[in-house]
Structure 1
Amino acid sequence: MNRCIGVLDSGIGGLTVVKELQKQLPGEDILYFGDNKNCPYGNRSGEDILALTMNMLEFMKQNNVKAVAIACNTISTLIDYYKDKFDFSIIDITKPTIDYIINMNIYDIAILGTEFTIKTGKYEKLLHEKNPNIRVINEGSKLLAGLIDSGKFDSPETREVVKSHIDNLMKKGNADNLVLACTHFPIIEDVFLDISPQLNIINPAFQQAKAISEYLSSNNLLNDKKEGELDIYTSGDTKIYSNVIERLNLKNVNSIKNSP
């Protein structure tokens, strides 16, 4: 079934999901859309986010994808509004992460995401539905996704924001198990660990890629190629993608283009 997997995000963050997909499904072609022009989504209203998401999903439909990974925690919180409107499977990034936390019997969890993601309480609600005894602390970031999307991976400003969030979470409770609940954040995972080496960082991108792999395998949709290609489209500046591709060591990049 040589159709591609679609991956969409508000900017460059979803490339962390692409990285995990290339590790777990090296034969799959991937079509990526990053809406950098409108990033960060986490500071927008739900109506804005939903309208922008529908535009990206229409783009995926036009390109005949076989499944779409919603590589954005903010967009994933709204999945109930769009998941049944297309004839391809849409897999959000939140549920696989929740399942992992429950399966690993983690009882103290810290969530760092965009302000929108945290305000929805999606992670906390889903975790407590599975296990009401889990202790959840969370922190919303207004600045971090935008800093990363502009390429400030290791700037003093970025490090200061990361340290502030870690300090705030530690004041609230046990923050050792930290979910990076924005796909931009794992791009600077090294910064988090440099500031606070004891952290057990949970990367939702890995869990989502695993869920995509299981879905394709169980539905006989796996590609028969040895190496897949990656095509990137963005509504914003294409230059930032070259830096992230190098930082994440992404492979077989066929094109980086502005969206039509």
Structure 2
Amino acid sequence: MNKPIGVIDSGVGGLTVARELMRQLPNESLIYLGDTVRCPYGPRPREEVTKFTFEMVDFLLQKEIKLLVIACNTATAFTLELLRENLTIPVIGVIEPGARAAISVTESKEIGVIGTIGTIESKAYPEALHHISKDLVIYDLACPQFVPLVERDQFSDEAAFDVVENGLLPLLGHQQLDTLILGCTHYPLLHEPIQKVMGNHVEIISSGEETAREVSAILSYQEMLNESETAEKHRFYTTGSKVVFEQIANRWLDQPIEHIEEIVIDQSLDDK
């Protein structure tokens, strides 16, 4: 089926998922929408996140996507089941894949989860983890300083280490913790300072790889893989600065982006 995969995020963080989708599914085309102008979603009320998420989904549905990836943990926590109830296409979130990946590597069965305020308060990760294994010890921690750092394109600055170190301080006393879930798709862009602060004995889990694997399995099972020899070009949309988005995307993705467009969602819905 030569239709694109839709990917939504509150900003640039979902590029960490898009990168894995592009790597694992090279014959597929992506349409990515990052709501950078209203980022971060983490501190926002559930109702507002739900409204914004459905607006992004409406935009992508007009592009005739065949599958939707919610590459935002907060949006996944608040809207996954609602979207699955309302859409006729498969909808994949990033929380369950991340939980499965963490359980597969932990030896001490003590797992840390860091995320936005919304994701952590939703308790979506502890629920997903305990649904699979009841005897896990979970330490969850909100790190609201991290997303603005990434959105400002400061994730490789020297100052990023100090922000990360201060943010992770409450986890450092848990000596048996051996696995840390990056419960926000922005956080893999801070992987280096996070690993340095936590130590090499802690396995850092990003949900991107596992999410892409799940997308691949679903497309294959439902016979929706692109069978043509060439895929359409990937298309990227942002509600914020095209320049900043392009800078981050070109540094993070393994291939140059040819189509980036700056949009206003409401106008786009009216025009299209």
Report the Cα offset of residue 173 of structure 1.
5.1
Q: Which residue of 2 aligns with 1:238?
A: 242
Q: Is the 8 A contact 1:110 1:174 kept in 2?
A: no
Of stretches 48-57 and 167-176 in structure 1, the one that deviates more from structure 2 is 167-176
Report the Cα offset of residue 127 of structure 1.
1.2
Matched, 1:91 2:95: no
Q: Is the 8 A contact 1:238 1:258 kept in 2?
A: yes
Cα 1:164–1:175, aligned 2, differ >3 Å: closer, same or farther? farther
Q: Is the 8 A contact 2:102 2:181 kept in 1?
A: no
Q: Is the 8 A contact 1:114 1:141 kept in 2?
A: yes
- Matched letter for residue 125 of structure 1: E
**Which consecutive residues of structure 1, in runs of 5 or more, have no partner in the other structure?**
none
Q: Which residue of 2 aligns with 1:216?
A: 219
* 2:123 aligned to which of 121, 128, 132: 121
- Superposition TM-score, scaled by structure 1 size: 0.94
Report the Cα offset of residue 104 of structure 1.
4.2
SS in 2 for 1:179: strand
Report the Cα offset of residue 105 of structure 1.
5.6
d(CA) in 2 for partners of 1:174, 1:148: 29
**Equivalent residues in 2 for 1:164-243 (5 A)?**
164-172=166-174, 174-198=176-200, 199-223=202-226, 224-226=228-230, 229-243=233-247
Of stretches 192-201 and 47-56 in structure 1, the one that deviates more from structure 2 is 192-201
Q: Is the 8 A contact 1:27 1:227 kept in 2?
A: yes
d(CA) in 1 for partners of 2:176, 2:166: 16
Cα 1:96–1:145, aligned 2, differ >3 Å: closer, same or farther? same
Report the Cα offset of residue 197 of structure 1.
4.0
Q: Which residue of 2 aligns with 1:16?
A: 16
Report the number of matched residues: 260
SS in 2 for 1:233: strand
Sequence identity (%): 28
Which whole-Å deviations, capped at 9, do the CAs of 1:191-229 have from their partners, x for residues lacking one?
A: 222334413111111111111011111111111234552
Which whole-Å deviations, capped at 9, do the CAs of 1:76-123 have from their partners, x for residues lacking one?
A: 102122222112111011112222333446511110100110011111
Report the Cα offset of residue 232 of structure 1.
0.5
**Equivalent residues in 2 for 1:62-81 (5 A)?**
62-78=62-78, 79-81=80-82
Q: Is the 8 A contact 2:101 2:207 kept in 1?
A: no
Q: Is the 8 A contact 1:229 1:252 kept in 2?
A: no
**Equivalent residues in 2 for 1:2-81 (5 A)?**
2-78=2-78, 79-81=80-82
Report the Cα offset of residue 42 of structure 1.
0.2
- Superposition TM-score, scaled by structure 2 size: 0.90
Which whole-Å deviations, capped at 9, do the CAs of 1:104-146 have from their partners, x for residues lacking one?
A: 4651111010011001111111211222210111110121111
Report the Cα offset of residue 254 of structure 1.
2.8
Query: Over aligned residues, Cα RMSD in angstroms?
Result: 1.7
d(CA) in 1 for partners of 2:205, 2:103: 13
